[in-house]
Amino acid sequence: MFDFIKIGEVPKTSWSSEKTFNLKPRLKTLIALVVGLILFGLGEALLVTSQIGVSPWTALGQGLANVSELGLGLTTFLISVFVLFLWIPLKQKPGVGTIIDIFLVGTVADLIIPNFPLSENIFVSLLLIFCGIILIGAGTAIYVGGNLGVGPRDGIMVGLEDKGLKIGTARNIIELLAFLTGWLLGGLVGYVTILFVIGIGPVVQKVLPYVDMRNNV
């Protein structure tokens, strides 16, 4: 029943780059990276349109905005910069994927949200949350498997995995810390926030075996 807990490594895929800092990646590596990040952005958009909360990192940005009187966009940027500094002790390195992540995920979400009907029904909202978490988890597994660098919070996840934690456990810890800090600072916490904290780690780990070549040899 809990076999997914045994899966704890960053996958080695057919589209994995041999090195993280690669300015000339293979075409299928770039395609997988973009597809994974588009799924991530689509998932984020579905969470927003559910209208019953925000993701833990958005809640953290809101909380910091509340206490600092800075705008949400600026606090989100400052959090990303701070998280990138946490990469140093974890020995993580940025790559092409890090840059693409910063621009593509938000762009996809911004394009979808205005053209997607907002939920006015709790059951529809819960369905949107479920689908959003699945898409974010699947997108994360696909683009992390490309080994072209990851976004700020996923870099922490991969760094903790390198230190011995299961990757799903690492993701849950990161989201839980963002959730608690955002809540303490007055960020908007709802069903989305709680379900995301609980669900994102297991989803990422559950998808990993399907993209990992080492399970097919």
pLDDT tens digits for range 119-131: 888 899 999 999 9
pLDDT value at residue 180: 93
Q: Cα separation of 28 and 15, whole Å? A: 6
| pLDDT tops 60 at residue 9 | no
- Mean pLDDT over 85-95 rounds to 87
- Amino acid in the structure at residue 100: I
In the predicted model, is pLDDT for residue 134 greater than 50?
yes
- Decide if 201 contacts 172 (C-beta within 8 A): yes
In our burial notation (b when 16+ CB lie closer than 10 A, e otherwise), range 176-198 reads eebbebbbebebebeebbebbbe
Q: Helix count (H) and strand count (E) of the chain?
A: 8, 0
Evaluate if pTM is beyond 0.85.
Answer: no
Mean pLDDT (the chain) is: 82
Q: Which single residue is written with the structure tokens 């045994």? A: 6
Is 204's pLDDT higher than 60? yes
